[in-house]
Amino acid sequence: MDRNVAIIGAGVSGLTCGIVFAEHGYRTAIFAKETGRQTTSGAAAAIWFPYHVEPAERVIPLALDSYQMLLDLARFPESGVSIIESRQFLRTGEIEIPDWAIPLGASAIPSEVENGAAGGAATWTGRPEAERMGSERIKSRRAGFNVSPRDPSTPPARAGSAHDEHCFASGFSLRVPLMDTTIYLDYLTARFGKASGEIHANVRFKKLEDVDAKFDLVIDCAGIGARELVNDPDLEPHRGQVAIVPKIESLSAAIVCDEAPLMYAIPRANDCVFGGTNEISDNLMADRETTSRILAECGRVLNIDKPTVFAERVGLRPFRRSGIRLERDRLRDGRTVIHNYGHGGAGFTLSWGCAREVLEVAVSSW
């Protein structure tokens, strides 16, 4: 096809758009300051879930479209996509299964007391299929859940530890795609290259009009960088910090609590991602105290000793107060630009749906 497409950004949004355009036969080049794992995308836990992004009526269809694409990719282990059970919890109150999660098989997590008064622990039994409650509010059978990665039949390792406290009040479970960023971003890069896409790294544009005039279409996937690039004051850096720790053999499901303090433990093929934080800040430096707090909370919930930290990662979620920006606009020189940024805490979750919509918008303008 006789079109030259330039994409700004080599995070998950830019790479996925790149693949969609290149595989449709367009000459596609990506330009970016940082690429792949150096981007915000490289710091993400990267589990599928429409977290911290607006507005729901816009993003849910995009998320569901991406879900299907990622489900297909999970058939190829080399993609770094796998399907994992994600357990979403609240520390207090009753969690509600969102309507969109029901067709995906979401179900309430029952809690049961196994050890009785002597053991004192309300132990996780993990039978999500046991209760299918639709969008009704769910009440746990007992006052609290406790989530342990350990086989419930084995006794707690540290008697009297925080394991005996009730960590969660209610939860639901759902099977979702998990993108291991240490594999997935390289997979996207290689797939883009295979479709004859070119990546130009270490290129920083001050404005979109600086993109070479030979490109008919410019696609803006600059993440938080769009704040300066297109002067968008609606975009806020919602900083997230995670700690990468060794694989926890007995942890097979992702444990997530979006309530403050944000907590998640996401097992990957070779390690585990502990999180997290969400605050408005531009600071890309990892903070020791924050890592300690993350380790303490994850350790408390999982009932494990403090693990070694392989790495600390920080990224700035591109949160846009007025919602994601996926729309066509015109540059001062008359060329078409399609903006695709502002995906907040859900850039992976929305990536394929957004990329396919960007293509539709482009084709309808030609």
Ligand X SMILES: Cc1cc2nc3c(=O)[nH]c(=O)nc-3n(C[C@H](O)[C@H](O)[C@H](O)COP(=O)(O)OP(=O)(O)OC[C@H]3O[C@@H](n4cnc5c(N)ncnc54)[C@H](O)[C@@H]3O)c2cc1C
By C-beta, is 33 or 175 nearer to ligand X? Answer: 33
Q: Give min distance, CB of 85 to ligand X, in A.
A: 15
- Residues of span 13-72 touching ligand X by CB under 6 A: 13-14, 31-35, 39-41, 43-47
Q: Give min distance, CB of 307 to ligand X, in A.
A: 18
Nearest partner of 365 among 217, 219, 180, judged by Cα: 217
Residue from 110, 156, 267, 276 binding ligand X (CB under 6 A): 276
Q: In whole angstroms, give the CA distance from residue 364 to residue 197.
A: 22
By C-beta, is 203 or 309 nearer to ligand X? Answer: 203
By C-beta, is 113 or 284 nearer to ligand X? Answer: 284
Residue from 80, 110, 197, 240 binding ligand X (CB under 6 A): 240
Residues in binding contact with ligand X, number by CB under 6 A: 44
Q: In whole angstroms, give the CA distance from residue 181 to residue 269.
A: 11
Tokens representing 97 are 């299964």
Q: What dihedral do alpha carbons 120, 124, 130, 134 form, nearest 10°?
A: 100
By C-beta, is 18 or 110 nearer to ligand X? Answer: 18
Q: Which stretch binds ligand X (CB under 6 A): 104-112, 118-126, 198-206, 327-335?
A: 198-206
Interaction of residue 204 with ligand X, rule CB under 6 A:
yes
In angstroms, the first-to-last Cα distance of the chain is 12
Under 8 Å between Cβ of 355 and 19:
yes
Tokens representing 290 are 């924050």
Distance from chain centroid for Cα 231: 25
Interaction of residue 208 with ligand X, rule CB under 6 A:
no
Q: In whole angstroms, give the CA distance from residue 16 to residue 30.
A: 11
Alpha helix segments (H runs only) across the chain: 12-23, 40-43, 56-73, 116-119, 181-194, 226-229, 288-302, 347-365
By C-beta, is 192 or 348 nearer to ligand X? Answer: 348
By C-beta, is 11 or 353 nearer to ligand X? Answer: 11
Q: Give min distance, CB of 35 to ligand X, in A.
A: 6
Under 8 Å between Cβ of 69 and 352:
yes
Residue from 317, 320, 325, 339 binding ligand X (CB under 6 A): 317
Q: In whole angstroms, give the CA distance from residue 172 to residue 128.
A: 8
Under 8 Å between Cβ of 69 and 19:
no
By C-beta, is 72 or 210 nearer to ligand X? Answer: 210
By C-beta, is 149 or 315 nearer to ligand X? Answer: 315
Nearest partner of 27 among 267, 204, 217, 182, judged by Cα: 217
Residue from 18, 171, 177, 315 binding ligand X (CB under 6 A): 315
Interaction of residue 222 with ligand X, rule CB under 6 A:
yes
Site string for ligand X, 345-364 (x = CB under 6 A): xxxxx---------------
What DSSP state is assigned to residue 188? Answer: H
Residue from 5, 7, 10, 262 binding ligand X (CB under 6 A): 10
Q: Give min distance, CB of 164 to ligand X, in A.
A: 30
Nearest partner of 221 among 61, 351, 56, 64, judged by Cα: 351
Site residues, ligand X (CB under 6 A)? 8-14, 31-35, 39-41, 43-47, 203-205, 221-225, 229, 240, 242, 275-276, 315, 317-318, 341, 343-349
